[in-house]
Chains A and B, each alone.
Chain A
Amino acid sequence: MSMLAEIKEALSAVSPVTIKETDYKTKGYHLDVAAGPDQVVQCAEVLTGHGFFLEAITGVDWLGQVARMKEAKAKAAAAAAKKLAEAKAAAAEAGQEVPAAPEPVAVETVPEEELGEDPMEVVYDYNTTGGELCRVVVRCKVPRSKPELPTISAICSGANWHERETHDFFGIVFTGHPDLSPLLLPEDADFHPLRKDFTA
């Protein structure tokens, strides 16, 4: 069994994560795993158990983006519909066969109600050091009002600094982390510069 299939199966045992295969050539990774805060630790266990190592942890602040993306998607859908209608009309005029509607674009999972409109995201990059190339990205969305998820520093020691850095920049709290004091910011820093509403 290929590495990809094997890890996919092992990860699907961690219910209920959503696993999406992505095109490596365009995206740069093979598997896109959407996990809840409860599954992050289990995913780390499964992946390290299969010989993966943690390359990085980072955050993304989606402030205002959900609304903007919905708008952009609606716009794109309207444009596509218009184009199709025009093509149909042109085809009918020419007496040709009417072209089929293009396949609908896969809609990304809408964040759950509890996340609100503007979730924060924590992204884990896993990679293997040998055998078949397989990159796995684990994502976890947390509500902006209470950005908390458990630490994985007990499993991957390297996560310790990555989580501290993510806490510095985004204010995301990794519960159970041995020491979340600022790593790169001044020791008394109480601001989070990579939050989109941060102003210096």
Chain B
Amino acid sequence: MNNYARSENQETFVLNLGPQHPATHGVLRVKLTMDGEYIVHAEPVLGYIHRMHEKMGENRTWAQFMPNTARMDYLGALSYNHGYALAVERAAGIEVPERAEYIRVITVELNRIASHLLWFGAFVLDLGGFTPLLYAFDDREKILDLLESVTGARLTFCYFRFGGVYNDIDDEFIAGTTAFIKRLRERMPDYHNLVTKNIIMIKRLKGIGILPEEMCRRYGATGPVLRGSGVQYDVRKNEPYSVYPEFDFDVPVYSECDSMARYMVRMDEIEQSMRIVEQAIAKLPEGEYIAPKVPKIVKPEPGDYYACVEAARGTFGVRLVSDGSNTAYRLKLRSPTFSNMSLYGEACQGMLLADALALMGSLDLVIPEIDR
């Protein structure tokens, strides 16, 4: 398919894609040097919505920074809540009760499904199919209703607290979640019949947008991008945190390295997240949902600490440097899309523009998370 060979005297032109373009999934600009419909060189231009969250961390208390985490990855905000909470809990030595850990896992996994569903709809939209977006939104709304009932927000969650969560889950939430999973299980075959087996989809994705394993490693890509390139790496398994070791789930891996592989990884992850939620609900222990003795003002010991979680798009890492005061001395937020996107320029050289857009969609970009 990609048989582009540049001749010596071919003229090129520059095409600006974005920063306001539906296919860029946010305020991202890509400066494309084109030869006809083929891309000679691509340079992503970032920073349009850069807000310096890391600096904000230095003049807010540890707890005050929690809402900021949700403003980075607004589609999978609970994973970001989780990563930040883990880092501060590690630094300040705060224990989390078991029930709180289970609630965390349930809500994070529901949020992951919601994020993947939105990606599914938007990705098919990139390829020209509109209807699946409506199906995906229908299911996603159900999750947002459930999460709203416990967190009070639909998107920019600030649900986690140091030592637990803000609110306990009730029987209504559990019944709603069980009903939702039953419903989504019945809908997944529809998704696969409608989209996965669609010949246009297959032709647009199979064998196109190849990201070799070696390239993913060089760029530090993680999450479904790396797993679509045949690497079995998932923070939940490789570096277990919270109560993930309690659950039986698989890490979907496809080794085709193409856009289809990344699509399949996310579709399978929806199923695995459903399994985790089911098990967590079945095993949900009684007890506190937040540790009773968490200091009002958190003051970690001086030093630096690191914690990371598997967010919907890959490894979200928090490196914090504490000087013993109630604010961070330095807060580094390692976002997965930043690394995943950095390979885009190299990956789409010699590709057709339409395929490069499919590749971009398969990376599942959330721009506020790159820009921070």
Complex: chain A residue closest to B234, CB-CB: A129
Asked if A69 lies at the interface with its beta carbon under 8 angstroms from chain B, I say yes
Give bound CA distance, A156 to B303, whole Å.
27
* A55 and B47 within 8 A (CB): no
Interface size on A, residues (CB 8 A): 36
Asked if B218 lies at the interface with its beta carbon under 8 angstroms from chain A, I say yes
Give bound CA distance, A129 to B213, whole Å.
12
For the complex formed, measure the closest distance between the CB of A109 and the CB atoms of chain B, giving whole angstroms.
14
Among the listed stretches B11-19, B185-193, B283-291, B316-324, which one makes contact with chain A, having 4 or more residues with CB under 8 Å of it? B316-324
Asked if A175 lies at the interface with its beta carbon under 8 angstroms from chain B, I say no
Residue-wise interface mask of A (169-200) relative to B, using a CB-CB cutoff of 8 A (1 in contact, 0 not): 10000000000001111100000011000000
CB contacts between A and B, total, < 8 Å: 103
Complex: chain A residue closest to B54, CB-CB: A194
Give bound CA distance, A197 to B34, whole Å.
43
* B238 and A56 within 8 A (CB): no
Q: Which of B312-343 contact A (CB under 8 A)?
A: 315, 317, 319, 321, 323-324, 329-330, 332, 334, 338-339, 342-343
- Which of A53, A130, A183 makes the CB contact (< 8 A) with B46? A183
Interface of B is mostly: mixed
* A125 and B302 within 8 A (CB): no
Asked if A42 lies at the interface with its beta carbon under 8 angstroms from chain B, I say no
Among the listed stretches B129-137, B172-180, B225-233, B261-269, which one makes contact with chain A, having 4 or more residues with CB under 8 Å of it? B225-233
* A157 and B55 within 8 A (CB): no
For the complex formed, measure the closest distance between the CB of B262 and the CB atoms of chain A, giving whole angstroms.
17
Give bound CA distance, A72 to B319, whole Å.
23
* Residues A123 and B319 in contact in the complex (CB < 8 Å), given A72-B302, A129-B233, A160-B342: yes
Among the listed stretches A13-21, A24-32, A78-86, which one makes contact with chain B, having 4 or more residues with CB under 8 Å of it? A24-32
For the complex formed, measure the closest distance between the CB of B56 and the CB atoms of chain A, giving whole angstroms.
11
Which chain A residues border B52 with CB–CB below 8 Å?
A: 193
* B47 and A58 within 8 A (CB): no
Give bound CA distance, A65 to B325, whole Å.
13
For the complex formed, measure the closest distance between the CB of B356 and the CB atoms of chain A, giving whole angstroms.
18
Complex: chain B residue closest to A61, CB-CB: B330
For the complex formed, measure the closest distance between the CB of A165 and the CB atoms of chain B, giving whole angstroms.
8
Asked if B50 lies at the interface with its beta carbon under 8 angstroms from chain A, I say yes
- Which of B303, B329, B342 makes the CB contact (< 8 A) with A161? B342
Complex: chain A residue closest to B320, CB-CB: A28
* Residues A68 and B90 in contact in the complex (CB < 8 Å), given A28-B305, A161-B342, A183-B46: no
* A157 and B219 within 8 A (CB): yes
Q: Which of B56-115 contact A (CB under 8 A)?
A: 87, 90, 93
For the complex formed, measure the closest distance between the CB of B213 and the CB atoms of chain A, giving whole angstroms.
10
For the complex formed, measure the closest distance between the CB of B129 and the CB atoms of chain A, giving whole angstroms.
32
Which chain B residues border A194 with CB–CB below 8 Å?
A: 54-55, 330
* B372 and A54 within 8 A (CB): no
* Residues A156 and B306 in contact in the complex (CB < 8 Å), given A56-B317, A130-B231: no
Residue-wise interface mask of A (63-98) relative to B, using a CB-CB cutoff of 8 A (1 in contact, 0 not): 001001100100000000000000000000000000
* A27 and B303 within 8 A (CB): yes
- Which of B307, B334, B346 makes the CB contact (< 8 A) with A56? B334
Residue-wise interface mask of A (27-59) relative to B, using a CB-CB cutoff of 8 A (1 in contact, 0 not): 111000000000000000000000001111010
Asked if B207 lies at the interface with its beta carbon under 8 angstroms from chain A, I say no
Which chain A residues border B342 with CB–CB below 8 Å?
A: 157-158, 160-161
* Chain A residues proximal to chain B, CB less than 8 Å: 26-29, 53-56, 58, 60-61, 65, 68-69, 72, 123, 125, 127, 129-130, 133, 135, 137, 156-158, 160-161, 169, 182-186, 193-194
